[in-house]
Amino acid sequence: MRHKTLLKSDEQDVFTDLLFNALLGFAFMFAIAFMLINNSEESGNINTKAEVLISVQWPDEHPDDVDAVVEDPQGGLVWYHNRDTGLMHLDRDDRGNLADSVKTEGGVVSNPINQETVTVRGLQTGEYVINLLHYKSNYKEPLPVTVKVEKLNPTVELIYYGQHFLNGVGDEITALRFSVDGTKEISNLNQLPKRLLTKALGRK
């Protein structure tokens, strides 16, 4: 009788240990899962810090290739051959209607918009120069190109919006020059011509 009592007690101890270990494992897995869960509010909060957005756009589905060439106060140039310099970045080198369509299993997906954008992630004191280059031309008629410059912080402010015309391969014009002071204020907007492509290609 005593022997049977000991066996029953042992069985209870084993069951208790198994139950405790199972609960411990469950608690551990729950803690790991909780740590891996992303906060939905934080996951949707993408850091897109930029101070100025420069947009260059020409007619949709037009085959011509237009390039934005931007110089910062330190003399750094961002363009299709150098997409990232200092605090500036060329987000997309748009080449007209080239590579505007992609074949997928569901059919052909196309993007008819011709647009290049340059983001300035931090404003430096001095002058910025925005040029347009007619890299590839298919027609004799002048190509209308619009340039928009927006200051994004602390609120979105339209600094400049204007239309310009390019007249064939190699045509480079200055669309806008503006100055930034020590308080990050933008002033002295003008269009005095300044060739940047010469500098970008290392020519005199």
Written as six digits, the tokens of 84 are 């990232």
Query: What is residue 111's predicted lDDT score, i.e. its pLDDT?
Result: 53
Main-chain phi, psi angles of 72, to 5 degrees: -95, 175
Query: What is residue 49's predicted lDDT score, i.e. its pLDDT?
Result: 78
Q: How many CB atoms lie within 10 A of CB 52?
A: 25
> pLDDT tens digits for the chain (204 residues)?
545 454 555 556 666 666 666 666 666 666 666 565 544 444 444 345 789 999 999 998 889 999 999 999 999 999 988 999 889 999 876 664 444 445 556 554 555 688 999 999 999 999 999 999 999 999 999 999 999 999 999 899 999 999 999 999 999 999 999 999 999 999 999 999 999 986 555 444
Q: What CATH superfamily classification does 52-200 receive?
A: sav2460 like domains (2.60.60.30)
* Segment (H or E) for 173: strand 172-180
Query: What is residue 46's predicted lDDT score, i.e. its pLDDT?
Result: 38
Handedness of CA 162, 175, 155, 89 (dihedral sign): positive
